[in-house]
Amino acid sequence: MRAEIVVMPEWGGDTSRYEVTLGETFPVGEETWRFADLDMTSANDWHVRVRRVDEDEVMEPPSGHLWKRARLRPYGQLDETQLRSVEAALGHPLPPDYRDWLRRTNGAQPEVEHHIPGAPFSLLPERPLFGMHPTYPPFDLVHAQRVHRDPWFSPEWLVIANPFGGLLVVSASALSGNVYFLHELDLVGPPGPAASAARERKLRAVAWSMGEFLGRLTPKELDDQPPVQMVPPGTFTDPRNYEG
């Protein structure tokens, strides 16, 4: 990872530019500074750390997270006739931002497990972003509404994926392209308008458009996982549960 560092004098003088690799140093007047770390959560969301290096300082290696582009396999494209047939089956138009994405991709399958850092869900190859697949209902957008939306939400919402950990939805009517997530622990309660409204209040935005959602999505690495803790039996469970 390389960056161009621009050093501007406070009171006039020449501006200096340095192209440095993550971890390298560069001069700032009589001081030495370092491109110390980089933390990327998406293609558009990142934090750079530069700091002064003290004399005889032992420099630690960078420890930030470098975002990696999502590895998705689109299923193809949909023409206008196909899009209208999907909308007819749904009973309402597709929201504009999602419609445009669906037109270009017909859904997408992750090559490996993907997540948004900090969000409690994972897209898997067997749990893709839905498209028009009437001959394979588990991946089909229309079928998904009967299975995943209708028991929990009103028709004002459109379920676009059933990832591990919950559901991803967009508004069926709003002009904004917000993508929302509902945790699987909130998929409880009876059907009906009152319970649906309560569940919908627990939706949390994870992106402001499909483009931003895909930009934040990244392959899940082993170092993204929390450390394993080994505990003896009965630490969290009453030993009496194992009796007789």
Q: What is the pLDDT of residues 56-82, one digit of tens each?
A: 777 676 665 566 778 999 999 999 999
Report the pLDDT value the prediction gives residue 15, as an integer from 0 to 100: 81
Q: Which domains does the chain have, with CATH numbers?
A: 16-67 (no CATH), 72-223 (3.40.1580.10)
Answer for the pair 85, 92: CB distance below 8 angstroms, yes or no. Answer: no
Whether pLDDT at 20 is above 70: yes
Answer for the pair 179, 158: CB distance below 8 angstroms, yes or no. Answer: no
How many Cα neighbours within 13 Å face the side chain of 19?
2
3-class secondary-structure state, position 198: helix
The whole-model pTM stands at 0.69
Residue of higher predicted confidence among 166 and 38 = 166
Q: Please list, in sequence order, all residues whose beta carbon lies within 8 angstroms of the beta carbon of residue 141, skipping any fewer than 6 positions away.
A: 86, 90, 102, 107, 130, 131, 132, 133, 158, 160
DSSP state of 75: -
Whether pLDDT at 233 is above 80: no
Q: Tens digits of per-residue pLDDT, 23-63?
A: 777 788 777 888 777 666 555 566 677 777 777 777 676 66
**What does the alpha-carbon distance between residue 189 and residue 198 come to, in Å, rounded to a whole number?**
9
Residue environment code for 224-234, b if the CB has 16+ CB neighbours within 10 A, otherwise e = eeeeeeeeeee
Report the pLDDT value the prediction gives residue 149, as an integer from 0 to 100: 93
Beta strands in 98-242 (DSSP E): 108-110, 114-115, 157-161, 166-171, 179-183, 204-207, 218-219
Whether pLDDT at 160 is above 60: yes
**Average pLDDT over every residue of 16-29:** 78
Report the pLDDT value the prediction gives residue 232, as an integer from 0 to 100: 45
**What does the alpha-carbon distance between residue 158 and residue 144 come to, in Å, rounded to a whole number?**
9
Query: Checking DSSP bridges between strand 16-21 and strand 2-7, what pairing results, if any?
Result: antiparallel
Residue environment code for 60-76, b if the CB has 16+ CB neighbours within 10 A, otherwise e = eebeebebeebebeebe
Ranking 6-10, 97-101, 230-234 by mean pLDDT, the lowest is 230-234
